[in-house]
Amino acid sequence: MGWRTRLVALRRALVGHEDQAASQPGPADRANQTHPTSLPSGVLEPDVGGETYRQDLEEHASLERYRRQIDEFDEDREPLLGRLIRQVLVAVAYVGPLVVAWVVGLELGDAFAGGGWRWDSYNVGMHVVSLLAELLTGGLALASAHALKKVLSDRAYLARCVSAVVLFVLLSGGSCMALWWVISQHGDYPLWVQLSRVILGPCVDVGAIVVLATLEFRSLAKHLQTIHQKADAIHQLAEAEIRLREAEQAALNRQREAEQFLEARRLYEETLAEMSKLQMRGTLKMMERVLRVVETEPLSTSSSALMSPPPKPLSLLSFSQKQEQVSGDESGQPGQVEGSGQQMRR
């Protein structure tokens, strides 16, 4: 009986657990409660959970990037003694390649010129060329260190970095071969001594590159100041470009207005000249007509006088009437009367 009682109790416990699990909402039920299926078929609900997860990932990535950038600024956490030693080593790395280049250049110049410095063209030429070549080698070492630091933050410096490194290797190789010849001419030294003396110069240059690329720490305050300076420079550059574009546009407008004014003036002058031509042409035509009328008028009057019939003889009655009319005129024109009388007498 005991084992039966235990089985019944176990069965009741299992049945109660299943009922409780069935009564509790599952993941699908909770999803349905959270996002009710009230949208019509064919309309997709936005994946709010996935978008939130992506935003959290982006924020976390941004925070991690900021933390890494802050960890890079280790100058503020450096002790005073370490900072002084580092600054001394950085100064040596800056000055060392130039000092070595000066010494090696003088050594090569003396060896190629056959002695010390003398004021003749061959001696001066050898010394100047040797010094310039070695100084440029040291300068390329510093440029390579600067380019290596820049290429980590800006890929645009990759071409400059490669060019500086290639030129540095070429000049260093030429300097090593020339120095090998000079050392071999000064005595019978062991091979390892000659090799060590030859490679000391390039080792100094490479060491300076490594020191400058690794021991120059960054300060957060200086970095923020640099960022503010860049922002101000970008703002000023944008304003300068805007003013430049405005000035160019104003110049174009003035040029366009000047061209339009000149074109309008040209059209006005052409129109005025055409009107003057038309007016002169009309005046000439009118003068020609007047001249033709004046030339033809005497001929017409003479021909009409010849073709007209002779005057009729005056009768005595008409003569007396004419005389009375002339005598009755108040103005009294004796000249006309006398003239008419004389004409009648004739």
AA letter at 206: V
pLDDT in tens, 239-298: 999 999 999 999 999 999 999 999 999 999 999 999 988 888 888 888 888 888 887 865
Helix (H, G, I), strand (E, B) or coil at 264: helix
User: How would you classify residue 337: left for phi > 0, otherwise alpha for psi between -120 and 50, otherwise beta?
Assistant: alpha
Q: Is 137's pLDDT higher than 80?
A: yes
Q: What is the chain's mean pLDDT, rounded?
A: 74
d(CA 157, CA 39): 55
Q: Is 70's pLDDT higher than 90?
A: no
In a domain, 119, yes or no: yes
d(CA 53, CA 31): 17
d(CA 176, CA 104): 10
Q: What average pLDDT does the segment 201-220 reach? A: 82
129 plus 243 within the same structural domain: no
CB 43 within 8 A of CB 185: no
96 plus 214 within the same structural domain: yes
pLDDT in tens, 31-50: 444 444 444 444 444 444 56
226 plus 94 within the same structural domain: no
Domain boundary among 182, 202, 218: 218
d(CA 106, CA 209): 23
Lowest average pLDDT, out of 52-66, 133-147, 176-190, 224-238, goes to 52-66
224 plus 209 within the same structural domain: no
| Enclosing domain of residue 146 | 73-218
Q: What is the reported pLDDT for 246?
A: 93
197 plus 95 within the same structural domain: yes
d(CA 241, CA 267): 38
Structure-model confidence comparison of residues 12 and 127, the more confident one: 127
232 plus 125 within the same structural domain: no
pLDDT in tens, 293-309: 887 865 555 445 445 55
Domain boundary among 188, 218, 248: 218
d(CA 205, CA 167): 13
Q: What is the reported pLDDT for 7?
A: 52
80 plus 195 within the same structural domain: yes
Q: What is the reported pLDDT for 305?
A: 47
Contacts of 144 (CB under 8 A, 6+ apart): 161, 164, 165, 168, 209
Structure-model confidence comparison of residues 107 and 30, the more confident one: 107
d(CA 73, CA 222): 9
Q: What is the reported pLDDT for 209?
A: 87
Give me the half-sphere count of Cα atoms (radius 13 Å) on the Cβ side of residue 320: 2
